[in-house]
Amino acid sequence: MTVWTRSALHQKAPVRSAEGSDPGPIPFALVERNGRGLCLRAVNGAAQKLGLWRGQSQADARAMAPDLVTVPADPAAEALTLKRLALWAERFSPCVALMADGPGVEGLALDMTGGTHLFGGEPAFIAAFEARLAKAGILARVAMADSLGTAWALARFGAMTQIAPAGGAREALADLPVEALRLDPEAVTLLKRFGLQRIGDLYPLPRAGLARRFRGPRAGAMGLKVVERLDQALGFRAEPVVPVRPPPAYRSFQVFAEPITETAGVALYLPDLAKALAEQLQRDGQGARRLTLTGYRVDGATTSIEAGLSAASAQPSHLLRLLKEKGLEALDLGFGIDALMLSAPVAEASVAQQEGLDGERAATEAAALAGLIDRLQAKLGEDAVQTPRPRGSWLPERSEGWDAASSLGFGAFDPVFRPRPILLFHPPERVEAIAELPDSAPARFTWRRVARRVVRAEGPERIAPEWWRLSPASPRPPRTRDYYRIEDETGRRYWLFREGLYGREDQDRTPEWWLHGVFA
């Protein structure tokens, strides 16, 4: 409902009655179609006062409230808004997860372990969090506990704001209804049929006995779910939390008392952020391979710039220069940012470089080259600076490719050294060759209308076809290649291959000779 209301206000389209008058608060609901037809997805306060509820069929609702105004719901917009809200909440915690348990019960889960002292303690953090949400027009119930299940229960069935003391989940949950365990309505109905109204009623029951109360295949699964949810809420069983985006292993954070509206202000705080991030990396012997500078705007949006590094680095001066080369003006500050985060989402072990004796010049040149590549990437774009990388293929034309210089990994490579020509032709060029059958090297060949006599030859090096790459659109299956390194009477050396085997493969096609490369 909040998402639709903010969208309607943005479009300046107030809800009015059918007669065109504006009677004030009117019953309003968002509807969606499910297996039972059109049902209410969300209702406003006026509709709730008339006894309407979420999940009620639209026909029954109109019978109770003829003046009910309905609008189709937009679940995709609601999901997108919740994700944006989660990204906004990263200013409080690097680990923010979505909890979309159903329409009207959406929420966020923030892992604040070891972080509340940055906001003055748990009560101060909750007060600041609620104040920011209220300022954005978002009504929320906030709770904090040792486990996710306890926090969820207190936020929805406890007081407006509750903090369960450390180790106090059992007492905090005892008086709450069993619905607070995030159970299916059918499981809740069965529990109440057994006389188990409150979560505290489940404490004296043995886990095995509690599960056996639910008989039948489907009911048995519900019983196991009840035990699982109870153990998760009490902290006896771990519950995985998947953040909306993985938190960076290394980050430095700065919160501002007043919003920053100019990039000059960002540049003023950037050296301290780069120094703090570099200290974290150096402590663990790591170097950043990718940097992200994120600004948290006062309107709830985020703005960021990213930069890749060709080699792992933990030097604050290099990190700072790289971000400035990228261009701080690319940050869309909007009406200002009140928090700034510099993170290294990708890092790897930093290899120590020799800085003395014979290796000093080589280390200096390597560092200078890496810095040059990083600056060129920041100015021109990461795809503009590329480097050759091995590929997982035996075929020469597929064994290498070009990747961005900042990309990770070197792909698959052949650990056995095999001589390869400096110059490869793509595609290979057809030649006419004379050779003894079936597998001898050519004695003569003609390339580009010039006949050449072979005086030395080495081979063959057999490369089988990559049959797994065959597609239905291929006119013919690939064939085996036999490569030869040969030298003609003038001393020039070539790399030829015969495609196909005489009498053993694809007999309806005669083997063909190709020149694939030239040695220096």
pLDDT (tens digit per residue) in 37-93: 889 888 888 888 888 888 889 999 999 999 899 989 888 888 888 888 888 888 888
Residues 86 and 221 in one domain: yes
Residues 102 and 222 in one domain: yes
Residues 276 and 349 in one domain: yes
Percent of residues in the chain assigned helix, strand, coil, to nearest 5: 35, 30, 35
Residues 99 and 224 in one domain: yes
Residues 115 and 224 in one domain: yes
User: Whole-prediction pTM value?
Assistant: 0.59
From the list 430, 433, 480, the residue with the least C-alpha distance to 452 is 433
Residue pair 442/435 in contact (Cβ under 8 Å)? The answer is yes
Please indicate, yes or no, if residue 111 is contained in any of the structural domains.
Answer: yes
Residue 484: its pLDDT value, please? 95
| Site of tokens 């009840």 | 226
Q: What is the mean pLDDT of residues 430-434?
A: 94
Residues 190 and 288 in one domain: no
Please indicate, yes or no, if residue 390 is contained in any of the structural domains.
Answer: no
Identify the helix (H) or strand (E) that includes residue 257. strand 250-260
Which residues contact residue 482 at a Cβ distance below 8 angstroms, ignoring those fewer than 6 apart?
Answer: 439, 459, 460, 461, 462, 497, 498, 501
Residues 190 and 277 in one domain: no
Residues 105 and 230 in one domain: yes
Residues 257 and 329 in one domain: yes
What is the domain extent for residue 441?
423-518
pLDDT (tens digit per residue) in 445-472: 999 999 999 999 998 999 988 877 776 6
Residues 258 and 364 in one domain: yes
Helix axes 316-326, 360-380, angle to 10 degrees: 30
Residues 93 and 225 in one domain: yes
Compute the chain's Rg from CA coordinates.
Answer: 34
Domains of the chain: total = 4
pLDDT-derived band at 132 (thresholds 50, 70, 90) equals confident
Residue pair 84/43 in contact (Cβ under 8 Å)? The answer is no
pLDDT > 70: percent of the chain: 85
Please indicate, yes or no, if residue 147 is contained in any of the structural domains.
Answer: yes
Say whether pLDDT at 20 is over 50: no
pLDDT (tens digit per residue) in 231-273: 999 989 888 888 888 878 899 988 888 889 999 999 999 999 9
pLDDT-derived band at 158 (thresholds 50, 70, 90) equals confident
- DSSP-assigned letters across all residues of 317-367: HHHHHHHHHH-GGGS--TT-EEEEEEEEEEEEEPPP---SGGGHHHHHHHH
Residues 217 and 343 in one domain: no
